[in-house]
Amino acid sequence: MWLSNYHGIIPELYLGTIIVFLLVFGVFYTKIGGKYNKFYKYNYLTILTLIWTFLIIFVSMPENTLLIGEVNRIEINSLNEGIKGILVLSTLGVLWITWNSYTQYKINKYEYTLLILLSLLGIFVLVSAKDLLLIYLGVELISLSLYVMASIRRSRAKATEAGLKYFILGALSSGVLLFGLAVIYNTLGTTNMLEIKNIGEMSTEVKIGGMMVIVSMLFKVAAAPLHMWAPDVYEGAPSVVTAYFAIVPKIGILYVLYELIFGVFWEIYDPMIRMLIMTTAILSIAIGTFGAINQNRIIRLLAYSAIVHIGYILLGFSTGTINGILASFVYIIIYIIMSINIFGLILSIYRGDEEKYIEDIRGLGKQRPVLAITLSLTLLSIAGIPPLAGFLSKFYVMLSLIEQGQIILAGVAITLSVIGSYYYLKIIKGMYFEESSLITAAGGTKIRKWQGILIGITTYMILTLLINPEPVVLLVIDIIVNSVV
């Protein structure tokens, strides 16, 4: 009977149980087996856990929407279960491309993969939550895990600085979120999202509280002007950690934003939240574009690039239409593919903790021609150049804006996209038309077998999605069709 009532949260129960087991196992294994020399065996257990979690998600997926708990604090449907599946696959992808990089970054610690599983559990809670208080708890579980991951290299000053900055600013955004929840609860006497949605017209206090909740979520995804932490944290944390930061947590937070905008606070979506999301989106694209132009370190450039991508996703949300929402989810999937690809290439090109300057890959076209052309294709896709996948994602978002009559907004976004192509083309120019640098001449570029397989798969998808976009589009439609927008 208990399982029949709670079978929808079996993935969370399984993941939480395995985390406890792995924590105990890790403590005893390192004491008995001797330090961290068997770290890869622990990593195998993490990979196996993620595979089983992925299978359990789809075995336990209900045919119809399932509400769990006496006050319906949790909702399970095809959309959030599909998002969980994408989250697990993204985490597997990150672990796959970073598999052989732990030694370089001196992260042979079982706590690293354990923290990834903990943050993934927090994202699962976040995605399924139908109570604002449960969302807060999910956000805190994610944040606490990421704070530690950012500073896991305690011997490196930049990693400690990144963790401290992330902690201080993250605590500020969590305070804003908690204050917004307090305002809503004080006014309505509930934090249940379904009850708030059914209230109808909302008071000024609830609108203010709702805006604070959404602003705190915009901080978590590094949307401008709340982006100030991203470049420093991305650069300061080890690149294997940054790869996870840039992909997995953002998917969960963006989904919660979707739930908050189009679910709980739909009544105040027009014009208050619509204007907030639209302004934040265009600011993210503009600040990310101009902020990246003068960067000479590739991780900081990718941080600003990620801010731009968040802007385009929010532009799709700002339309308030089903086509805009579908465009945003398609963009998210293509963003995951491109991010896994680019971080796999970066981890192959650069050594460990060295500063990752753009000038270090000058002459890569002569030294490693296959690697150079792969990196070029990925950069062009991120820039949105046809006929690559990045163009498809931006095309759908622009189309949804034009359908709503937002011609000027679409024109501004396209213009900024053209300007943003400059710094990607500058990197490609350096690889093919400038003299070799020390890193490439010294043979620092080496793709391991497993990294090469995943880079090959994602490159193939980048090349072919525009020709045959149906798999991604149909996947998005399939997982969103039973969700109430």
Q: Where are the chain's structural domains?
A: 265-485
- In 3D, which of 359, 404, 378 has the Cα closest to residue 456? 378
Q: Name the burial class of residue 179, with classes exposed (0-12), middle (13-18) and buried (19+) by CB atoms within 10 angstroms of its CB.
A: middle
pLDDT of residue 101: 63
Question: pLDDT-derived band of residue 105, with 50, 70 and 90 as boundaries?
Answer: low
Alpha-carbon gap, residue 379 to 428, rounded angstroms: 8
Residues 26-49: pLDDT tens digits?
Answer: 777 766 555 545 555 667 788 888
Q: Name the burial class of residue 170, with classes exposed (0-12), middle (13-18) and buried (19+) by CB atoms within 10 angstroms of its CB.
A: buried
**DSSP β-bridge partners for residue 13:** none
Distances (CA, A) of 75 to 78, 136, 185, 194, 365: 10, 16, 20, 10, 51
Torsion, Cα of 97, 101, 106, 111 (10° steps): 20
pLDDT of residue 481: 60
pLDDT of residue 200: 66
Alpha-carbon gap, residue 121 to 115, rounded angstroms: 10
Torsion, Cα of 141, 147, 148, 151 (10° steps): 170
Alpha-carbon gap, residue 45 to 22, rounded angstroms: 8
Q: Name the burial class of residue 67, with classes exposed (0-12), middle (13-18) and buried (19+) by CB atoms within 10 angstroms of its CB.
A: middle
297 backbone dihedrals φ, ψ, rounded to 5°: -115, 130
**Is residue 278 over pLDDT 70?**
yes
Residues 11-24: pLDDT tens digits?
Answer: 888 898 988 888 88
Q: Is the pTM of this model over 0.75?
A: yes
Share of the chain above pLDDT 70, in %: 85
Q: Where are the beta strands (DSSP E) in 381-478?
A: none
Residues 48-67: pLDDT tens digits?
Answer: 889 998 998 888 776 666 66
**DSSP β-bridge partners for residue 131:** 192
